[in-house]
């Protein structure tokens, strides 16, 4: 069920249990189960991907989902966890003698973990959860737009390992370009939707005129 439909029913005063039972009752194989167990307790939880603002300090680093939880649809949690682990290990090795991470090391680690975390979550939200790309173009297009981004950015990160100032600046620019790529597709989706709507309206008014002329 689409989230907006559930929200609408909740606004109309129905509980989550009512909505769930109502939906299940539409299917023959569930109807008797629903009527036999009208008071089944229902547990709910909300799911939210996140990227922590602070992922390291002078003597600590967060890696994997503790640092940044990618949306499950990105299928990128393991890759991100390995990437964090590799970056964190390098940072620790480089600071063993000193005994703590420098400000610069902390900035580099934070920029990479947070930049990639936000980029992945934004891309899946734009292409899959929001309607313009998924509904106006189609789910396959949404999937291609996302995978074009995710495969390329993971490969580029592994190849260029943005740690020094220039590679980091270039990589930051690249992330911004990918951001524009997602927004561009979302805009194309909206444009396609409104053009389709206006064609439908035109078609309808032409049909009405023709039927009036006929009568
Ligand atoms: C159903 C499902 C499907 C997924 N599919 C994919 C996929 O297709 N591709 C992909 O890339 N990712 C996928 N992921 C995400 C991926 O599994 C995670 O992003 C990844 O495992 C995160 O690694 P992690 O090391 O951060 O955390 P985890 O793998 O969760 O490791 C954390 C470990 O810490 C332990 N732990 C927790 N608290 C304590 C404590 N207090 N003391 C000691 N130990 C503790 C836990 O037992 C666990 O072993 C999926 C996840 C799920 C749940």
CA of 67, closest atom in ligand 1: 26
- Of the pLDDT bands very low, low, confident and very high (cuts 50, 70, 90), residue 101 is very high
Give the span between the Cα atoms of 175 and 76, in whole angstroms.
Answer: 16
Model pTM?
0.80
In the numeric block, which tokens belong to residue 38?
A: 């009208």
CA of 64, closest atom in ligand 1: 26
**Which residues, in sequence order, are CB contacts of 193 under 8 Å at separation 6+?**
132, 135, 136
- The protein residue with its alpha carbon nearest to ligand 1, atom 25, reads 64
- Of the pLDDT bands very low, low, confident and very high (cuts 50, 70, 90), residue 82 is very high
Pocket test for ligand 1, best of 78, 80, 113, 151 (most atoms within 8 A of CB): 78
In the numeric block, which tokens belong to residue 159?
A: 């190849």
- The protein residue with its alpha carbon nearest to ligand 1, atom 5, reads 75
Residues in the chain: 215
CA of 70, closest atom in ligand 1: 19
- Of the pLDDT bands very low, low, confident and very high (cuts 50, 70, 90), residue 105 is very high
Give the helix, strand, coil percentages of the chain, each rounded to 5.
75, 5, 20
For residue 213, what pLDDT is reported?
A: 77
Residues near ligand 1 (Cβ within 6 A): 64-66, 72, 75-79, 81
What are residue 57's DSSP bridge partners? 60
pLDDT tens-digit series, residues 156-198:
999 989 999 999 999 999 999 999 999 999 999 999 999 988 8
Counting Cβ atoms within 10 Å, is residue 13 exposed (0-12), middle (13-18) or buried (19+)? exposed
């Amino acid at each position: 069920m689409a989230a907006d439909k559930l929200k609408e029913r909740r606004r109309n005063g129905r509980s989550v249990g009512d909505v769930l039972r109502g939906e299940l009752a539409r299917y023959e194989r569930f109807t008797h189960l629903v009527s036999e167990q009208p008071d089944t307790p229902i547990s709910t939880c909300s799911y939210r991907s996140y990227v922590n603002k602070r992922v390291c300090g002078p003597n600590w680093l967060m890696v994997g989902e503790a640092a940044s939880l990618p949306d499950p649809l990105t299928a990128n949690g393991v890759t991100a966890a390995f990437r964090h682990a590799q970056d964190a290990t390098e940072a620790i090795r480089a600071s063993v003698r000193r005994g703590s991470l420098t400000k610069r090391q902390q900035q580099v680690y934070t920029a990479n973990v947070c930049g990639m975390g936000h980029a992945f979550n934004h891309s899946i939200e734009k292409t899959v959860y929001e309607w313009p790309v998924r509904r106006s173009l189609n789910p396959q297009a949404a999937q291609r737009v996302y995978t074009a981004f995710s495969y390329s950015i993971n490969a580029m990160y592994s190849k260029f390992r943005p740690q020094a100032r220039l590679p980091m600046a270039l990589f930051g620019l690249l992330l911004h370009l990918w951001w524009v790529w997602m927004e561009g597709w979302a805009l194309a989706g909206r444009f396609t939707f409104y053009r389709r709507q206006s064609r439908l309206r035109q078609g309808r008014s032409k049909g009405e005129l023709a039927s009036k002329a006929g009568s």
